[in-house]
Amino acid sequence: MKKITCIIFIFLISMPALAHADVIINEVAWMGTNKSSSDEWIELANTDSTAVSLAGWKLHTADNSVNITLSGSISGNGFYLLERTDDTTVPNITADKIYTGALSDSGEKLILEDNTGSVVQSLDFTAKWPAGNTTTNQTMQWNGSTWVTGDATPKASNVQTTADTNISTVNTTTNTSNGSQQYVPPKVVPHIEFSFPSPLYSGMQYEFGAQAVLEYMTEPYGYFVWNMGDGSHFTKTDNTDPLSYTYEYPGTYTVSFAYYRSAYEKKSILSGTKKIEVLKPSIDMSIIDNGAALSIQNSTDKVVDLSGWHLETSSGNTVFPDMTYIAPKADVIFSAKNLQLSSVQGAKIYTPFSGFSTQVIQPNTKANIVIKNITTKNKNTTSRSVLGTVAQPIQNVSTEPIAAPQTKNHTKSIILGVVIATVIGLLLLLERFMTQKE
């Protein structure tokens, strides 16, 4: 009887250990989702029909960049979903655990421990994730014998349940030793990918984009350094938004961009440069048909983009719509009707952002008024940039910066007036005091 009791006791003690072996890391979305690369999630699976308590269990990486203390339980043949940051990472599916921390797209070592600290499962993928795709956002899934790439299946059976099932490949497949096929994502040479607008004009604000493209991912967080090539230098801790910048002067600049994992690293992970040409905005204008239309000439050998530029006239104001381009050496006529104006008399064109202001007028001998030889003046004298001004003809051409109107200094007169008023007031008070005393 004692022997039977001892055997039962030993069996009961060993049951949790047996159950532990049935909980596995089943699916890993280390690349995030289509919505965001930060929307990472991990799924555990219970391959046994008996529920297992996960209270006190831990799932962590070798470097503890992710360190999760689990809670609750996982049902028999069920799944346990861990979502990063919040419960919107996987839409319409409730997370069993919310965690913080990020998985590196270059690889990690995942360790699953039970409540005694014993290692239940250890997956060493520090060199490279064996499956998953950053382009299609397909996840890394366990098919019963190997890791495969497939469409995400949170809290559901994976793409494959046996090694003989064909996976839905995207590009290249590789035969494994057991005869199954495993998707191998195409290798990408790490590089900096620039995204700049064109053409670029001095005195105008633009958005400059650059991405650090690694072997299987695009890194949005870290330490990013910009050098605009004109003495300006910027650092950012995330790369989710482009850099807004305005070049003050035309010229050819070399823009540099570098990615570091942290501000403490001395050597960048990736860096790159791109040469850009910043042009001086230059157009000629003339009014035709007594204000019924405006002719704009591009005398340069570059395309001029008027998108978002302002047009002010004596009859009202408007903005040139997006994708308004003038080809090199081209002349474009804008009717007042198409611009939704009654007339374009008194026309002035402004760039969308502050930077410089010009007003140069040429003598007129015809019915039309022509504006040429645009120069710049101090950028601080106006809140926007005037490129051309149609006005009444004058005899002399001015190419000098327009001086701001001078104002007289009345400070001394004001102070003198205050002093006189104060003295008069004191005398009146003294007179009243003497009268009352008498």
Instruction: Give tens-digit pLDDT for 285-315.
Output: 888 899 999 999 888 888 888 888 888 889 9
Q: Calculate the alpha carbon distances from 419 to 261, 291, 360, 372, 424 in Å.
A: 66, 56, 47, 54, 9
The radius of gyration of the chain from alpha carbons, rounded to an integer in Å, stands at 36
Per-residue confidence (pLDDT) for residue 432, from 0 to 100: 75
Residue 90, token pair as written in the block: 């996987």
Res. 17 pLDDT band, cuts 50 70 90 = very low
224, 258 contact by CB (below 8 A): yes
State which H helix or E strand residue 69 sits in.
Answer: strand 67-69
The mean pLDDT of 31-40, rounded to a whole number, is 86
State which H helix or E strand residue 434 sits in.
Answer: helix 411-437
Going by C-beta distance under 8 Å and a sequence separation of 6 or more, which residues neighbour residue 228? 208, 234, 245, 247, 253, 255
Secondary structure (3-state) at 310: strand
Q: Which of 344, 339, 334, 371 is nearest to 290 (CA)?
A: 344
State which H helix or E strand residue 23 sits in.
Answer: strand 23-29
What is the distance of C-alpha 64 from the center of its chain? 28
Low-confidence winner among 17-31, 123-137, 267-281 (lowest mean pLDDT): 17-31
255, 229 contact by CB (below 8 A): yes
The mean pLDDT of 267-275, rounded to a whole number, is 91
Per-residue confidence (pLDDT) for residue 438, from 0 to 100: 60
Residue 24, token pair as written in the block: 């596995």
Q: How far apart are CA 26 and CA 78, in angstroms?
A: 11
Going by C-beta distance under 8 Å and a sequence separation of 6 or more, which residues neighbour residue 399? 360, 373, 375
List pLDDT tens digits, range 228-266.
999 999 999 888 889 999 898 999 999 999 999 888 888
State which H helix or E strand residue 7 sits in.
Answer: helix 2-20
Structure pTM? Answer: 0.39
The mean pLDDT of 141-155, rounded to a whole number, is 90
Per-residue confidence (pLDDT) for residue 293, from 0 to 100: 93
- Higher-pLDDT residue of 9 and 53 is 53
- Higher-pLDDT residue of 434 and 390 is 434
The mean pLDDT of 74-91, rounded to a whole number, is 89
- Across the chain, mean pLDDT equals 76
Per-residue confidence (pLDDT) for residue 299, from 0 to 100: 82
With 50 as the cut, is the pLDDT of residue 222 above it? yes
List pLDDT tens digits, range 355-401.
333 332 333 333 344 444 333 333 333 333 444 444 333 333 333 33
With 50 as the cut, is the pLDDT of residue 169 above it? no
Which stretches does DSSP call E strand in 89-238? 97-99, 108-113, 119-125, 139-142, 147-150, 172-175, 181-184, 191-195, 200-201, 205-213, 218-219, 221-227, 233-238
- Higher-pLDDT residue of 24 and 420 is 24
